[in-house]
Every structure is written in C-alpha cells, then in structure tokens.
C-alpha cells in the first residue's frame, strides 16, 4: 500500500457514517491522505486539492451522478471510487457503467483493497487537475439543480466546439439563457449576440431582418440595411422558434449554412459570413418533418449538437434560487424580502407549466400583494391550479391550511361592467380580514389538496380586492393581473360574485 498510494489525496464523502480516526490514520500511513466531508457543498470547496474522490452510495447511484455533474461543471476530471453496502451489491455494475474507477464494499477498509485502488489510480492517465481555470455559470444564470449543472457542463463543451447547436425545451424554460451561455463560453464571446424570434414577425419581414437589403431594393428602401446575419459577424446568431420559419425561408437558410454566404435583398454580391448559428424550438421537429412543415435536410444541418432544457418541474433545485434572484431583481425601494417555509413548499410542489416565465409572474404578484417583508402562501397566485399529474407531497398537505371562503356580502351571479375608481390598500380595508391570521387559525385538517388551498387563497384575495372598491380595473391592477384575467378568474369561480364587482 505504501508504494501504490504515494502522494494521493482523497476527499472521502460519506453522508451516513463519519470516518473513524483509526481508519484515517491507517490510510494516511499508507500514503493516502483522506479529508472527510459529509455534503457535496463541503466537497466542492476542497475539490482543487483532490486526486481521488471516494463516495459512499445508498440504495441507488444518484449521489455518484450528482458528484460527476458537479466535477464536470467545475472543469475537473477526478477518478471516483464508490463504496456500497453489501446488501446493495447490485449497484456495482451500475456504478461501473456510470464511470466509477472502482467499487468496494462499504465495510472493506483493508490495506489490500486500497492497494488495488491505488494501482488503478496510478494506471489511470486522466489528469485530476483542470487544464484551465474553474468554469462556473455566470452570475446572471441559475444552474443549481444537478440536471442544470449537467446541462451547463455539456454546454461548455459544445461552446468550445463551435458547431451549430439546436436547443429544445418547453416555452419559458430558459432556451435563450442557454444560448447566451453558449455564446459567452465560446471564443466568440467578444463578438455580438443577436437574437430573433421567428414567430414574432410577419413572413415578409423575416427575410429582410435576416438578410438585409440594398438601397432601392423595394419601395421605401432609401438606404442599405444590414440584416441580422451581418450584424452577428464574429459572434452568434440565435434564431428562436425555428419551427415557425416559413418553408421557403428554410431553403434559403439551408443554402446559407452550406455556403456560409448571404446576398442582401436586391443585391448581387455575396457576403462571406463568420457567424455561429444557434437555434431553438419548443416543438417536435421530427413531427414537423412528418407533417411537411419543416425541411428534413435543414434539420440535420442545424442539429449538429442538440441540447435539451428540462422543464422547471424536472429541476426542482433551481426553483428557490430562481425565486431569490427574482426577488432581488424586482423588489422596489431596497425591500429585503424572504419566503416562509409554507410558501417555499407551495413553490416547490407546484408543477410550473409555464416554467421560469410563470415563476417570475408569481413572484411579481407576491411582491404586489405582500406589504410586509415575509411572503406567505396567501401571496402566491398561480396561473393554473396544480395538475393532477404533479402529486402534492404529504408534508405540504399537512402544513398548508385551507382558508374557508365566505359569501356574506350581497352577490350577483355574473359581472361584466368595469368602472374606474381609486382602490385603497385592500389588505388594510377590513381589520378583520388578515391573511396571516387566517393562515394561523384555519384548520389544517381540511387541506384536501394543495390545489384546493391555492384556489381558496386566490379566491380570498380576489374577493377582498373586489369588496373594497367599485372598480375591477383597479382591483386587477392591485392584484398584479390584467382586467381580462380577473374577468376570466371570476367566471371560473363557482361561488357567487360580490355586488361591488359590478356596480
């Protein structure tokens, strides 16, 4: 052991049992200096000094995968040895396939076993230290969840390859954010980043926006115009919603990618391009090809490397860090806001069909509704009730009370007219209506589901705003939603609507 583990420094990650001093001394005597850690966060701080990582697994290999994502994100390639319980020896094959250097029983700390590890480590030619400085996500980007960290690490490699990239993912998940990461992580970072949403412009304008035109090319073309391809020279051109590009422009785009040249509208002189193209879509391009809505040859040209941005519900570790970032960005007058545990549970349990964009809307509404420094579940207004496909954790159900809906005010069954009038702070109108008090006193046993709780809280806030004014326009403004959205929500309420909502 003394010859096979010379100068080896290992980070020893064991979330289940501290490393005994005697074992640590035994390993040190053989040349393996061990630094025990109990969390990934603690391990991350000490990665720069490690030649070897030793991790103890539970009943699956998730911790190994998280550790690999972390080291990859930070630019390290350090061999990993896994320790598994004897009752879970079926994990040996899975860990080796995942890329572990070696797997040992967790209780095997013999000299012979670690001699074998030392021999394998010495035979491994992978450098433990990164070749360059640590690469971390920019401060403007939140990639905390292991899935996001893995995506960022992959994006780093794609960025340096300078290939055309296709980013897939649902609306609002952060595809343009990832495109900017590709740009800022490449050798084109000093060049321009130019973005165009192909679904945002009429068909006759997209061609001019992309390729530009010469003076006199058409009526009103009083001077030459450089299109986005030219504006992105030396940098990156990002085309969002590429599936919405008209089919005839797809043919032109294919030719540009093949020849790396463009010709302005009304022009004859080809212009050489030095542009990296990144495209994104929220649609299944294979299905679009089958429906003859997208060219197959263009698909193969733009999908040199595909990156998938997971929906927010698949990266729950990003939710609260994103909320913190959004609160810091949008809070006015230097307000320092925090979220209590119940509100955090609501945010993490919700399915987020609108992804990060919907999360930002919920945060903005909470800032409008919250007059104190603590955001509670009463301040959270979601666009939709939680779908049944996103089960609510039992801990959330037991912690979150349901607020009973009162209908004591005179009511009408429908309300259509809007009248503008000043709206005071509805949280201070009725001293008896207090969201904090209602949350504290309502019986939690009535919490049948988080969906019911969210609907109940939303109903209470809407009713309080409406009962305090004759103006639904101002009520909607105070609630942080449009009058149309308020009308839609009132129509969905099965209970009656207060008379003050209409007259």
**Given a cut of 70, is residue 139 above it in pLDDT?**
no
Comparing C-alpha atoms, which of 247, 218, 12, 7 is closest to residue 109?
12
**Given a cut of 80, is residue 39 above it in pLDDT?**
yes
**Given a cut of 90, is residue 23 above it in pLDDT?**
no
Per-residue pLDDT, 454: 66
Ordered strands of the 193-197 beta sheet = 193-197, 236-240, 276-281, 165-168, 305-308
- The per-residue pLDDT for range 402-430, each reduced to its tens digit, is 433 333 333 332 223 332 333 334 344 34
DSSP state of 380: -
Question: Quick one: 428 exposed, middle or buried, by C-beta within 10 A (0-12, 13-18, 19+)?
Answer: exposed
Q: How many CA atoms lie within 13 A of 31 on its CB side?
A: 16
pLDDT band, very low/low/confident/very high, at 286 (cuts 50, 70, 90): very high
Task: Enumerate domains of the chain plus CATH numbers.
Answer: 8-123 (3.40.50.2300), 146-310 (3.40.50.300), 314-501 (1.10.8.60)
Per-residue pLDDT, 501: 46
- The per-residue pLDDT for range 217-272, each reduced to its tens digit, is 777 777 888 888 989 999 999 999 999 999 988 999 999 998 898 888 888 888 89
CA dist., res. 247 & res. 243, Å (int):
9
Comparing C-alpha atoms, which of 463, 472, 458, 304 is closest to residue 385?
458
């Amino acid at each position: 052991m003394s010859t096979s583990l010379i100068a080896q420094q290992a980070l020893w990650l064991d979330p289940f049992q501290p490393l005994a001093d005697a074992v640590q001394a035994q390993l040190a005597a053989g040349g393996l200096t061990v630094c025990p850690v109990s969390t990934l966060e603690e391990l991350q701080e000490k990665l720069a000094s490690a030649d070897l990582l030793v991790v103890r697994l539970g009943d699956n290999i998730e911790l190994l995968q998280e550790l690999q994502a972390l080291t990859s994100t930070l630019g390290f390639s350090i061999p990993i040895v896994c320790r598994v319980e004897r009752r879970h020896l079926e994990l040996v094959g899975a860990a080796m396939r995942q890329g572990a250097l070696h797997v040992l029983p967790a209780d095997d700390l013999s000299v012979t076993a670690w001699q074998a590890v030392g021999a394998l480590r010495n035979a491994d030619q992978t450098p433990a230290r990164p070749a360059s400085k640590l690469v971390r996500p920019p401060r403007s980007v939140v990639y905390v969840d292991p899935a996001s960290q893995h995506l960022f690490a992959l994006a780093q490699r794609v960025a340096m390859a300078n290939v055309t990239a296709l980013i897939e993912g649902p609306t609002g998940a952060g595809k343009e954010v990832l495109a900017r990461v590709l740009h800022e992580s490449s050798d084109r970072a000093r060049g321009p980043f130019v973005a165009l949403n192909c679904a945002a412009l009429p068909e006759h304008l997209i061609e001019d926006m992309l390729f530009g035109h010469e003076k006199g090319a058409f009526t009103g073309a009083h001077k030459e115009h450089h299109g986005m391809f030219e504006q992105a020279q030396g940098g990156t051109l990002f085309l969002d919603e590429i599936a919405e590009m008209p089919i005839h422009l797809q043919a032109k785009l294919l030719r540009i990618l093949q020849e790396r040249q463009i010709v302005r509208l009304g022009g004859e002189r080809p212009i050489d391009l030095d542009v990296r193209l990144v495209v994104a879509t929220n649609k299944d391009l294979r299905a679009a090809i089958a429906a003859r809505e997208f060219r197959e040859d263009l698909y193969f040209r733009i999908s040199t490397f595909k990156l998938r941005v997971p929906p927010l519900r698949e990266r729950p570790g990003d939710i609260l860090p994103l909320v913190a970032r959004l609160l810091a960005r949008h809070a006015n007058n230097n307000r320092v806001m925090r979220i209590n545990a119940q509100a955090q549970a609501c945010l993490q349990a919700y399915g987020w069909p609108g992804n990060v964009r919907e999360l930002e809307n919920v945060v903005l509404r909470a800032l409008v509704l919250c007059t104190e420094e603590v955001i509670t579940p009463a301040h959270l207004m979601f666009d939709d009730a939680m779908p049944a496909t996103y089960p609510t954790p039992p801990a959330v159900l037991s912690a979150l009370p349901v607020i009973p809906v009162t209908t004591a005010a005179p009511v009408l069954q429908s309300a259509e007219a809007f009248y503008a009038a000043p709206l005071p702070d509805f949280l201070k109108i009725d001293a008896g209506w207090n969201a904090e008090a209602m949350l504290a006193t309502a019986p939690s046993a009535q919490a049948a589901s988080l969906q019911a709780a969210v609907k109940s809280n939303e109903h209470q806030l809407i009713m309080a705003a409406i009962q305090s004014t004759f103006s639904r326009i101002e009520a909607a403004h105070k609630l942080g939603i449009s009058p149309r959205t308020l009308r839609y929500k009132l129509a969905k309420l099965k209970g009656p609507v207060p008379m003050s909502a209409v007259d």
